[in-house]
């Protein structure tokens, strides 16, 4: 496996879009439900001040994709999105992409990476509940109930730094996480 910048080639962009649709189909999200919306997301990552990297195998098949958006004059980068082909999940592809992304951010002078990981289908203890009025108390006791990605990011050193209650509708929060990469 090697990790490279995404080339503006239709076959690569299409592979990424298909992985994006498949990777988010069970999350409860309506994002990237069509090939058109997924293709648009991939193409939007191919501009200046963005990071767009893929992991490929020895046959140049895309295994996973990670993107990033520069914020706060380059001090902070949003990790958006990360997706790995289902048949190679749990084999280090996601970890490798995140570690590569962290190196890219550091090379560009960034100090912090942030991300949001939505819970739109009650896979954590903060999903499906009214987080108000004790938002931070509820967040401090967050539990992973059904393979929510926030646990993956925790293992890589990211910490929960906040939550946006009801970001995707009532009881569907966005869990905010960050990591310093100095």
The CATH number of the domain covering residues in 1-97: 3.40.630.30
To 5 degrees, how large is the angle CA 94–CA 97–CA 103?
A: 145
d(CA 119, CA 136): 16
| Confidence at residue 33, expressed as pLDDT on a 0 to 100 scale | 82
| Confidence at residue 110, expressed as pLDDT on a 0 to 100 scale | 98
CB-based contacts of 35, cutoff 8 Å, min separation 6: 17, 18, 21
| Confidence at residue 28, expressed as pLDDT on a 0 to 100 scale | 65
pTM for this structure?
A: 0.95
d(CA 120, CA 161): 19
- Name the residue among 146, 148, 172 with its Cα closest to residue 160: 148
CATH superfamily of 111-182: Gcn5-related N-acetyltransferase (GNAT) (3.40.630.30)
Residues of the chain with CATH 3.40.630.30: 1-97, 111-182
Q: List the pLDDT tens digit at each of the 182 positions of the chain.
A: 999 999 999 999 999 999 999 988 877 677 788 999 999 999 999 999 999 999 999 999 999 999 999 999 999 999 999 999 999 999 999 999 999 999 999 999 999 999 999 999 999 999 999 999 999 999 999 999 999 999 999 999 999 999 999 999 999 999 999 999 98
């Amino acid at each position: 496996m090697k990790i490279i910048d995404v080339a503006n080639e239709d076959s690569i962009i299409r592979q990424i879009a298909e992985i994006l649709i498949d990777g988010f189909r069970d999350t409860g999200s309506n994002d990237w439900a069509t090939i058109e919306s997924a293709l648009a997301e991939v193409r939007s990552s191919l501009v200046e001040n963005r990071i767009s990297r893929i992991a490929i195998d020895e046959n140049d098949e895309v295994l996973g994709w990670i993107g990033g958006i520069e914020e706060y004059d380059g001090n902070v980068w949003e990790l958006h999105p990360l997706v790995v082909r289902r048949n190679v999940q749990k084999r280090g592809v996601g970890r490798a992409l995140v570690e590569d992304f962290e190196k890219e951010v550091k090379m560009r002078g960034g100090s912090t990476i942030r991300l949001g990981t939505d819970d739109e289908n009650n896979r954590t203890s903060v999903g499906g509940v009214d987080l108000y009025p004790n938002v931070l108390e509820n967040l401090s006791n967050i539990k992973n109930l059904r393979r929510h990605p926030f646990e993956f990011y925790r293992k890589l050193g990211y910490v929960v730094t906040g939550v946006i209650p009801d970001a995707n509708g009532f009881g569907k929060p966005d869990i905010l996480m960050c990591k310093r990469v100095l």
